[in-house]
Structure 1
Amino acid sequence: MDDLLYLVHRIPWPPNKGDKIRSHHILRYLTQHYRVHLGTFVDDPDDLVHTAEVEGLCASTCIRPLDSRRARLRALGGLATGAPLTLPWYRDRGLQRWVDDTIERHSISRALIFSSAMSQYLERHPGVVQVTDFVDVDSDKWTQYAATRPWPLSAIYRREGRRLLAYERRQAARSSASLFVSPDEAEAFRERAPESAERIHAMNNGVDHAHFAPDRVPAHNPYPPYSRVMVFSGAMDYWPNVDVVVWFAREVFPEIRVQEPHALFYIVGSRPAPAVTELGRLPGVMVTGFVEDMRAWIGHADLAVAPLRIARGVQNKVLEAMALARPVVASPQALEGLSAQREQEVIEAPAEPAAFARAVLRGLAEGPSERGERARKRVETDYDWARNLARLDGYLQGPVASTAAPSMETT
């Protein structure tokens, strides 16, 4: 097997949130075809228990702690430079030394970078062929944040959007292939980085549909009898998730309860932010925190809701509900990039209180339907990990990109 360097901004284990699900399955695939040398960070102390599993898969590893307070100070110090703040957030001398030593010791000629911030560790190694999995257009996410935050955060986020886009373009120019989570996301980046358009590709996410299968849902129903349950699942310290459950619980759910007095809204996911915990005081709203098996909570719900107002890429929460054949009511932002047929496989509704409430009530009234079965078939067809990841080898064995790159001042 050839040696391959894999740089990931967050340890790809366990697969319990969006980016980690993707990086986890990529790692498992790569270890079947390469001797993988993994450089990564641990930003959640709970993930430290998984380092032995990761080390057992890889030829070598460098797993560095990432303290958010120190990272924030490094990032704010970067305001004096022209670089995006994302870079100093993930800058680590120990990881840089390991990368340099690993490339020299194992004569590594190819690397897969997961998240553009990790590309900084290869800036002194221009001879290494790089494939970058950007996943989403992160720069646009910061621009979206800027539109919803007060000054001075709006100014900082707007700056980050501009600076990060310039860096993303430079990295795409250095990469033999730039990968994104959906055709829509790839096309959005082609528009922003036309000089690299021919090397920008979509590589769909996947779902472990053997695990997320209706017949694998635990028998125990965690919900009260005779209730009508809608569920939102995800990491509940992630700001777009916080934003949307606060909006749904306060603006949409009361309208639903008028028509469905037994309706319950369950917010299921780890590390709920204070604003999310506070929602548990509202009638019919339940906040669970971490759960052992998400399948029970999605699989026994009447429907899943995903009324995201800020989103990029593909939402795993939607794919998992589809795999479990649950009715899904989602905003256009949450469905962006998904090949699911609207109405036939999922219900799309605008993130506007009255309209979204009507769509949820319609989904509750319909109950189990063929829509859920069609949604599962869509997952099996378009979101199979093995089929989608099979494209990686072709990208990793592709030609070296040009070293020419646009200026950091690109807007």
Structure 2
Amino acid sequence: MGGVLFLAHRVPFPPDRGDRIRSHHLLKALARLGPVHVGCFGDGDAAAERALAELAASHCVAPRTKPLPLAGAEAVLTGKPVSLTAFHSRRLAAWVRETIARERIDAIVVFSGQMGQYVPDEFAGRVVIDLCDVDSAKFESYAAAGERPWLNAREARLLAREEERLGQRADATILISEAEAALYRSRLTTPGKVNVQVIGNGIDAAFFDPSASALHPVIAQQPRPHFTFTGQMDYRPNEQAALWVIEALLPRLRARFPQAMFHVVGRNPTRALMAHHGMPGVHVWGEVPDVRPFIAAADAVLAPLLIARGVQNKVLEAMAMARPVVLTSEAATGIAATDGAQWLVCPPDHEAMAARIAGLLADREAADAIGAAARRFVLDFHGWGAMLAPLEGLIGKTAEGQRHAA
């Protein structure tokens, strides 16, 4: 019985941020099909590496020590995207080749486009690439918004080439939603040569269960309403969304609800966000051991993302916790919920969103009904088991680890 080589740009433990949640569940699904050998990058988290060692047949965790300026210089000299040079490691490349030579590897599963560079050209087994979303389009959005336009336009152009190369190399290329798959196909020069598949994000609804978590005790003692935003807060789209709430939306909400509080919850808040901490109505919590009490205490969870790729775990988590979610159409991508029934979708207009939130708070019974419907929706359509069921067919294995007949 052969094994699977799983390559990820971060250690898939702990599952506490969007990409690591998906890679974590991918790895667990693969491990149920047979032995998995894992190559990834890490930051020296010993507990995460121990957890990886318990699940993987073998593993290599390369340190992320390359400074970004050095990765940028390498990118310019080699004509590659910075995203690739930043994740290039001779140690990891050697380990991949040694593992393929030593073990019987039937398939390579690549999580995120940065790791496709490690798939040897001569590898004859199946290759599955999980791009998740179209990174090149994200950099195009940054350039269009005036953020380092030359650098981001270059990154977008070169990443688009790499995304097409990977699609042509792989037996299957996975995107996280039908919208991302359509976007990816639209950017290919030869779409007929790429087998595009969709595997959405799931949610651990047993963990994100409102009955399993109390309200945050500090927030519960304060006057309502409370609004929560969760995420990795040094990720530019999250920072941008949180700042938009603080600077544009919150003043409109506090004009209607003078004691309204906005809670920013997530690791590594930027200097711009921390500058607002302690201002009227703003609490920046930073990293917390458990986001559930903050979600449970919210009258509404906000996700007004202006730039978003793929499926937002923060939205699924809030829905599983039976909280009404107010979000932009960008944050709604890939989740087939209905506006007004399982969430509220608004344009990124502070007056319109404030009015929609005011209407939500005016009818608590209706707000609770939206939250209950949201939880039912994720239970029915976004369990990880259902989401990852196609994986075994894509890598050519059954649940017993046997190869499918060709």
Shorter-chain TM band = over 0.9
For 1:16, the equivalent position in structure 2 comes to: 16
Instruction: Indicate the structure whose relative CO is greater, using CA pairs within 8 Å and at least 6 residues apart.
Output: 1
- The 5-angstrom pairing of residues 279-294 of structure 1 reads 279-294=276-291
Q: Is the 8 A contact 1:322 1:375 kept in 2?
A: yes
- 1:389 paired with 2:388, answer yes
Separation (CA, whole Å) in 2 of partners of 1:334 and 1:273: 21
Moved more, 349-358 or 266-275: 349-358
Moved more, 373-382 or 6-15: 373-382
User: Residues 248-296 of structure 1: CA distance to partner in whole angstroms, max 9, x if unpaired?
Assistant: 1011101110100110000011111111111114211000011111111
CA drift at 1:49: 2.5
CA drift at 1:124: 3.6
Separation (CA, whole Å) in 1 of partners of 2:23 and 2:358: 36
For 1:206, the equivalent position in structure 2 comes to: 202
For 1:61, the equivalent position in structure 2 comes to: 59
SS of 1:292's partner is coil
Q: Which amino acid aligns with 2:92?
A: L
- 1:352 paired with 2:352, answer no
Separation (CA, whole Å) in 1 of partners of 2:69 and 2:197: 32
Separation (CA, whole Å) in 2 of partners of 1:221 and 1:197: 55
SS of 1:222's partner is helix
- The 5-angstrom pairing of residues 4-403 of structure 1 reads 4-42=4-42, 44-45=43-44, 47-67=45-65, 69=67, 71-150=68-147, 153-193=148-188, 194-196=190-192, 199-218=195-214, 220-223=216-219, 224-367=221-364, 368-397=367-396
SS of 1:381's partner is helix
CA drift at 1:197: 6.7
Separation (CA, whole Å) in 2 of partners of 1:77 and 1:354: 46
Q: Which amino acid aligns with 1:168?
A: E
Alpha-carbon spacing, 1:197–1:353, altered in 2? closer, same or farther (3 Å): farther
Q: Which amino acid aligns with 1:378?
A: F
SS of 2:264's partner is strand
CA drift at 1:68: 5.3
Cα RMSD after superposing both structures: 1.6
Q: Is the 8 A contact 1:143 1:157 kept in 2?
A: yes
Separation (CA, whole Å) in 1 of partners of 2:356 and 2:242: 16
SS of 2:62's partner is strand
CA drift at 1:86: 1.2
User: Residues 46-68 of structure 1: CA distance to partner in whole angstroms, max 9, x if unpaired?
Assistant: x3331011111110000011025
Q: Which amino acid aligns with 1:277?
A: M
Separation (CA, whole Å) in 1 of partners of 2:58 and 2:69: 29
Separation (CA, whole Å) in 1 of partners of 2:194 and 2:119: 22
Q: Is the 8 A contact 1:116 1:168 kept in 2?
A: yes
Separation (CA, whole Å) in 2 of partners of 1:333 and 1:354: 18
Separation (CA, whole Å) in 1 of partners of 2:46 and 2:180: 32
CA drift at 1:121: 0.8
Separation (CA, whole Å) in 1 of partners of 2:281 and 2:128: 47
User: Residues 333-386 of structure 1: CA distance to partner in whole angstroms, max 9, x if unpaired?
Assistant: 110121111111110111122112222222222334211111111101111101
Alpha-carbon spacing, 1:75–1:292, altered in 2? closer, same or farther (3 Å): same
SS of 2:376's partner is helix
Separation (CA, whole Å) in 2 of partners of 1:197 and 1:246: 42
User: Residues 103-139 of structure 1: CA distance to partner in whole angstroms, max 9, x if unpaired?
Assistant: 0000313100001111111134342321000001111
CA drift at 1:198: 5.9
Unmatched runs of 5 consecutive residues or more in structure 1: 400-411
User: Residues 78-98 of structure 1: CA distance to partner in whole angstroms, max 9, x if unpaired?
Assistant: 123332221111100000110
Separation (CA, whole Å) in 1 of partners of 2:360 and 2:173: 38
Alpha-carbon spacing, 1:130–1:326, altered in 2? closer, same or farther (3 Å): same
Separation (CA, whole Å) in 2 of partners of 1:212 and 1:162: 39
Q: Is the 8 A contact 2:14 2:20 kept in 1?
A: yes
Unmatched runs of 5 consecutive residues or more in structure 2: 398-402
Q: Which amino acid aligns with 2:381?
A: D
For 1:402, the equivalent position in structure 2 comes to: none
Moved more, 107-116 or 13-22: 107-116
Separation (CA, whole Å) in 1 of partners of 2:194 and 2:159: 21
Q: How many residues are aligned here?
A: 394
Separation (CA, whole Å) in 1 of partners of 2:356 and 2:47: 42
CA drift at 1:218: 2.5
Separation (CA, whole Å) in 2 of partners of 1:80 and 1:231: 44
Separation (CA, whole Å) in 2 of partners of 1:183 and 1:111: 24
Q: Is the 8 A contact 2:168 2:194 kept in 1?
A: no
Separation (CA, whole Å) in 1 of partners of 2:73 and 2:326: 39
Moved more, 276-285 or 99-108: 276-285
User: Residues 29-48 of structure 1: CA distance to partner in whole angstroms, max 9, x if unpaired?
Assistant: 11111200000001x44x33
